[in-house]
Amino acid sequence: MKNWDDLRIFRAMAKARSIRAAAADLRTTHATVSRRIRALEEDLGSALFERRNEGHVLTAFGQSMMDLTEGVSVGVEAIDRLAFGQDGSLAGPVRLSVLEDLYHQVLSGPLDSFMRAHPMIELSIETTPNLRDVSRREADVIVRITSNPPEQAVGRKVADSPLALYSSPHYLNQRPAIDRWIALDYPPTIPPLLNARPVFLAGSLTVVADVLRRGQGIGLLPCFMGQGDPNLVRLPEVDLIPDKEIWTLTHVDILQNPRVRLLMDHLYRAFSDQRHRIEGRFE
């Protein structure tokens, strides 16, 4: 293979079974993935994929190549982590993957102060909901709400993320006998906990919080979304509901990179400063 990066593109395509999905995973373009796969097939003199109803499926040769590249891929990824971990410069890139809602509700201010304090660091933020793989350096640092942080990652739990019942002052001033239940498309929040009828369901926390602020009903939100919002009121009818945890993580091989270390420490402080609010506790 003329270019080790072709291996990464080939493996992403094999796992995704879609040029578009592989491009999204690799943060590149559809055209780039298509062009590089065609060029690789020409160099090898054999087709790697065939198009079927279920997507791009490996040929027999492609599957054999996939099996053989497993160890090579792991080695290349380890070399990449080792090189990045040995980079002692305070100037340069560092990539953070964080849920968009956590960015807006918790980290926008702290990350602004991080950039002002370290102007030579090139901070790249990705707000995908997918858990990025720190072993493959899809991100250098990840912040996620999870109950099961990946085994290969190191870091710490920075807060619990319980659920609480919220509504708007406007709704409460005209509260009906049977409440209107606003739900996130997430199992713990869907069944009404009060005498309420379901009227709204969405897959976005931002959308659910907006509907609640507009006085459309009552529903559960993570406390980091609702606590301290002047347009939402936390209701005492339901106690805090334990849910998942918030973790800040990286890979052990790159933990000593000074840019990663600075960002991790800054995130730890940011969550510590806001932990009472995130966990729905009152001072």
- Please state the rounded mean pLDDT for residues 174-200: 96
Mean pLDDT lowest among 32-36, 63-67, 274-278: 63-67
Q: Which residues contact 257 (CB under 8 A, 6 or more apart)?
A: 84, 85, 86, 87, 88, 94, 140
Q: How confident is the model at residue 134 (pLDDT cuts 50, 70, 90)?
A: very low
0.85 surpassed by pTM: no
Residues 22 and 80 in one domain: yes
Q: What pLDDT is recorded for position 251?
A: 82
- The confidence score (pLDDT) of residue 81 equals 56
Same domain, 28 and 112: no
Instruction: Pick the last residue of a domain from 58, 86, 114.
Output: 86
Q: Residue 79 pLDDT more than 70?
A: no
Q: Are residues 158 and 128 in the same domain?
A: yes
Report CA-CA distances (Å) from 177 to 64, 174, 195, 197, 232: 65, 10, 8, 11, 20
pLDDT in tens, 40-59: 888 888 899 998 888 899 99
Question: Which of 14-28, 67-81, 146-160, 212-226 holds the top average pLDDT?
Answer: 212-226
Task: Return the pLDDT at 113.
Answer: 96
Quick one: 200 and 150 in the same domain?
A: yes
- Predicted confidence at residue 132, as pLDDT, reads 53
The total of structural domains in the chain comes to: 2
The answer to whether 243 and 222 are in contact (CB under 8 A) is yes
Give yes or no for a contact between 17 and 55, defined as CB atoms under 8 angstroms apart.
yes
Q: How many CB atoms lie within 10 A of CB 63?
A: 13
Which whole-number Å values give the CA distances from 205 to 43, 87, 100, 237, in the listed order?
47, 38, 10, 22
Residues 80 and 97 reside in one and the same domain: no
**Which domain-ending residue is among 35, 62, 86?**
86
* Model confidence pLDDT, tens digit, residues 83-105: 555 666 778 888 898 999 999 99
Number of H helices and number of E strands within the chain?
10, 11
- Give residue 278's domain range: 90-283
Where a domain ends, among 86, 113, 136? 86
What is the phi/psi pair of residue 118, to 5°? -130, 70
CATH number reported for the structural domain that contains residue 121 in this entry: 3.40.190.290
Q: Chain-wide mean pLDDT for the chain?
A: 87
Together in a domain, 222 and 132? yes
Residues 82 and 114 in one domain: no
pLDDT of the residue at 80? 61
The reply to whether 60 and 112 lie within a common domain is: no
At 233-251, the pLDDT tens digits run 999 989 999 999 999 998 8
Q: What is the mean pLDDT of residues 200-228?
A: 96
Q: 279 and 184 in one domain?
A: yes
CATH of the domain at 12: 1.10.10.10
